[in-house]
Structure 1
């Protein structure tokens, strides 16, 4: 089985990029239009840089990957769950919850690229056919 990479939706990337641009412009305008910068002016620039970092995170790193029976979620703490050891697979409040005896992963289905979501569901079907068969997630 080849590696399946699940990416964030373009909408999520655009939201973070637009917010980065807006906060950075506000910060730069505050510095250029005022003689004495206030501490909040630095906060606008910090927010702009933080959102730019988030944009780059969503743009270049995958949300999750599936390779040789192991699902990996890439966040600040990388989480892995072996699909052969799954005890629970369910959806709740727009999240896909996969749980094994030693690890629990929650994937937000609202921010996953729609094409990748379908591929992920098809790849998970052999591990929980009674749950995923005929269900629209």
Structure 2
């Protein structure tokens, strides 16, 4: 299951990419020698924001599988759900702790419907009540 980014974040990256692209094309039209100088940098910025938009839209923020959770970053390392020993909620973020690793999940950049899915998936974990912010219904 994918946990998606909020539409606000995706839209922000798309708009920034388009603005950099329009800015660089405008400067190219005004001055053809533009590509010799800072123009390449402007085009790179446009490519980075557009690439970020498409990557985040396609892969989402997190991937939850039956036994793992992983951030979809370039060096995202999966954590086994069975190894999670504690879930903290601090300033709206979730901090998942295992014996050897920690994963911080920024809930402010997650789409509301995906946040509900994440809450349900994390609340199912069998942890003592003092080690999780979720109330147990079992």
Give TM-score, length-normalised by structure 2.
0.86
Question: Any stretches of 5+ residues in structure 2 without a counterpart?
Answer: none
Do structure 1's residue 19 and structure 2's residue 16 form an aligned pair?
yes
Deviations 1:28-62 (A, max 9, x none): 11111014325222211111111011111111112
- 1:83 maps onto 2:85 in alignment: no
The answer on 1:33 being equivalent to 2:44 is no
Deviates more, 1:85-94 or 1:45-54: 85-94
Structure 1: stretches of 5+ with no match in the other structure: none
Seen in structure 2, the aligned counterparts of structure 1 residues 23 and 96 have a Cα distance that, compared at 3 Å, is same
After TM superposition, list the pairs within 5 Å mapping 1:1-137 onto structure 2: 4-37=1-34, 39-127=37-125, 128=127, 130=129, 131-133=133-135
- What is the number of equivalent residue pairs in this alignment? 131
Offset of residue 93 of structure 1: 2.9
Residue pair 1:79, 1:105 contacting (<8 A) in 2 also: no
Contact 1:17 1:51 (C-alpha < 8 Å) held by counterparts = yes
CA distance in 2 between partners of 1:71 and 1:40 (Å): 41
The more displaced of 11-20 and 101-110 is 101-110
Report the TM-score when normalising by structure 1.
Answer: 0.87
